């Protein structure tokens, strides 16, 4: 059973378009993170959200944590080819008791120039 479902699984868009990636669960998470992974490399952390309703911005990327802390979204404005990669959400549903994370299945984004 996958606790974190991401949608869409694949997304191919043109440079300059906007997009949103969703990360949903029926479980409550004490924190949720977004990672980006490029081919041949390990995931790299983009952001961590910990408070329900929290919104964080990282240049053209906007991250939101749902009020109930069960879901999150990543919105990219004016996508660029450099945004291409696999986006993974990951959450801690242990209440901070461990450092273990549960990862979503990922969204593969391709931005065409």
Residues that bind another protein (CB under 8 A): 2, 31, 33, 40-45, 48, 50, 88, 90, 92, 96-101, 103-106
Contact 60, 74 (CB under 8 A): no
Least distance between another protein and beta carbon 113 (Å): 26
Residues belonging to the chain? 113
Least distance between another protein and beta carbon 29 (Å): 11
Q: Which is nearer to another protein, 16 or 95 (CB)?
A: 95
- Separation in Å, CA 6 to CA 61, 67, 86, 98, 105: 17, 18, 11, 23, 6
Q: Which is nearer to another protein, 14 or 98 (CB)?
A: 98
Least distance between another protein and beta carbon 23 (Å): 11
- Separation in Å, CA 45 to CA 14, 53, 67: 25, 20, 22
């Amino acid at each position: 059973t996958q606790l974190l479902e991401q949608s869409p699984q694949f997304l191919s868009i043109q440079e300059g378009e906007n997009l949103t990636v969703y990360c949903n669960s029926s479980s409550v998470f004490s924190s949720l993170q977004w990672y980006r992974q490029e081919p041949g490399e390990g995931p790299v952390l983009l952001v961590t959200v910990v408070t329900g309703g929290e919104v964080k911005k990282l240049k053209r990327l906007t991250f939101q944590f749902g009020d109930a802390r069960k879901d999150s979204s990543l919105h990219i404005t004016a996508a660029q080819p450099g945004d291409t990669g696999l986006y993974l959400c990951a959450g801690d549903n242990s209440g901070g008791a461990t450092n273990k994370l549960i990862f979503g299945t990922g969204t593969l984004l391709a931005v065409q120039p």
